[in-house]
Amino acid sequence: MADKRLTTSVAIIGGGPSGLLLSQLLHLNGIETIVLERRSRDYVLSRIRAGVLESGLVALLEEARVAERLHREGEKHGGVEIAYRGESLRVALDELTEGDVVTVYGQTELTRDLYEARDAMDGVVIHEADNVQLHELDATSPFVTFDRGGETTAIHCDFVAGCDGFHGVSRSMLPAEIIRPFERVYPFGWLGVLSETPPVADELIYAGHDRGFALCSLRSRMLSRYYVQCPLEDNISDWSDDRFWDELRSRLPTDVANGLVTGPSIEKSIAPLRSFVCEPMSWKRLFLAGDAAHIVPPTGAKGLNLAASDIHYLFRAFVDFYKDDDEGGLQAYSEKALARVWKAERFSWWMTQLLHQFPESSAFDQRIQQSEFDYLKSSHAAQVALAENYVGLPY
């Protein structure tokens, strides 16, 4: 028996950018929400994540009225560099598309903006919610229970939005007989370093090399984020700062390596890579979004952007339901979201295949990889395809 009872229209599980963005958009359309987050607010804001935003996500943030600081501090990039074994190609995103660009703005800052917007509107975000359980999802009035401060609270709602990530509770509530998981686990990870140093280039550099993949990215003019491919069994203790910088230099084109400014790391982590899709993304009164339903390798910067397209479809479906009593959007949500998910999965897989060294790679595979880059470098059509996917396919 719950100690307390709350009511809302949509209970949102997960207080990361997906859950907060959905809550903000629904609030602006007069739809009540309560957001539950397992961690503290400080913990959520301490997570370092990607920061390359598609134009579709930027437009969605504008609609949510949280894009003011992004436009002031974010950097618009009209191109991206692909390097392979010493050769380089700049893909002019804006010229190859209809003027589309990407915006570099840290996910932590985006989340901070969403928190501040929720605070300004007295949005209900409950942190440190333990033992979250979803109940009666196949009924007209589902409810969610959670523990906090020694008491159990029940939230009665119309719908539940599962935005609680790959390890959250929401996906586990789909019946085993209907769920179809698709997964590929990659045999390497990314070692990432954050440093208070000027970025080595004005645009992102994705580099393939015989020693493995490398990525040069940035958060601001004095905050750089770099990655190198590493074995999954490596530990952070294996990688001193000096070893990291030496390895990064070895994988970059000579002119880029010569311009690299190094310094002490202020954050260092190793992340595994996987591709994962859960079908369907909804069941009865439960709707999954973001990492709760799918994971992409970070190659191509699609994780956060793919979550945003889920939120776009889901938020509009909820608005149709509450304003027009139209259930069509909710019924079509999973199919519509998955159509875009699989396109992003394909692109992320392709970028990963192009630029990483695979342990089982044969001499034939190496030649195919080289030919893939050569074709990209020589083909306008191939560059258009990369640019269209990188800036984001339309919603």
Q: What does pTM read for this prediction?
A: 0.96
Question: Are 26 and 160 contained in the same domain?
Answer: yes
What's the pLDDT at 169? 98
Is 84 inside any structural domain?
Answer: no
50: pLDDT strictly greater than 80: no
For the chain, the domain total comes to: 2
CATH code, domain carrying 264: 3.30.9.10
248: pLDDT strictly greater than 90: yes
Question: Are 112 and 248 contained in the same domain?
Answer: no
Taking residues 349-363, what's their average pLDDT?
Answer: 97
Question: Are 173 and 197 contained in the same domain?
Answer: no
Secondary structure element (H or E) that encloses residue 208, with its range: strand 205-208
Q: What is the pLDDT of residues 100-132, one digit of tens each?
A: 999 999 999 999 999 999 999 999 999 999 999
Question: Are 232 and 246 contained in the same domain?
Answer: yes
Contact (CB, 8 A) for 53 and 303:
no
Question: Are 165 and 191 contained in the same domain?
Answer: no
Is position 302 annotated as part of the catalytic site?
yes
**Residue 1, both tokens:** 């028996």
Q: What is the pLDDT of residues 257-298, one digit of tens each?
A: 999 999 999 999 999 999 999 999 999 999 999 999 999 999
Contact (CB, 8 A) for 35 and 23:
yes
Is position 272 annotated as part of the catalytic site?
no
48: pLDDT strictly greater than 90: no
Question: Are 70 and 191 contained in the same domain?
Answer: no
Question: Are 345 and 208 contained in the same domain?
Answer: no
Q: What is the pLDDT of residues 135-183, one digit of tens each?
A: 999 999 999 999 999 999 999 999 999 999 999 999 999 999 999 999 9
* Residue 233 phi, psi dihedral angles, 5° rounding: -80, -5
What's the pLDDT at 127? 98
Is position 298 annotated as part of the catalytic site?
yes
Question: Are 225 and 269 contained in the same domain?
Answer: yes
Rg (alpha carbons) of the chain, rounded to whole number: 22
What's the pLDDT at 363? 96
Tokens 């600081």: give the residue: 69
1: pLDDT strictly greater than 70: no
**Residue 127, both tokens:** 């942190």
Question: Are 29 and 170 contained in the same domain?
Answer: yes
Q: What is the pLDDT of residues 57-101, one digit of tens each?
A: 999 999 999 999 999 999 999 999 999 998 999 999 999 999 999
Taking residues 179-205, what's their average pLDDT?
Answer: 97
Exactly one of 142, 199, 297, 298 is catalytic; name it.
298
Give percent of the chain above pLDDT 70: 99
Exactly one of 84, 186, 227, 390 is catalytic; name it.
390
Is 85 inside any structural domain?
Answer: no
Is position 264 annotated as part of the catalytic site?
no
Is 86 inside any structural domain?
Answer: no
Exactly one of 84, 105, 206, 226 is catalytic; name it.
206
What's the pLDDT at 2? 81
Exactly one of 27, 209, 294, 302 is catalytic; name it.
302
215: pLDDT strictly greater than 90: yes
Closest C-alpha among 288, 338, 292 to residue 314 = 288
Is 72 inside any structural domain?
Answer: yes
Full residue range of the structural domain in which residue 36 is found: 4-76+102-182+274-351
Exactly one of 27, 77, 294, 312 is catalytic; name it.
77
Is 195 inside any structural domain?
Answer: yes
Q: What is the pLDDT of residues 341-351, one digit of tens each?
A: 999 999 999 99
Question: Are 200 and 255 contained in the same domain?
Answer: yes
Is 93 inside any structural domain?
Answer: no
Cα–Cα distance for residue pair 336/44, rounded to 1 Å: 29
Question: Are 36 and 142 contained in the same domain?
Answer: yes
Is 96 inside any structural domain?
Answer: no
Tokens 């910067």: give the residue: 301
State the chain's mean pLDDT as an integer: 96
Question: Are 242 and 380 contained in the same domain?
Answer: yes
What's the pLDDT at 51? 87
Is 254 inside any structural domain?
Answer: yes
CATH code, domain carrying 155: 3.50.50.60
Is position 77 annotated as part of the catalytic site?
yes
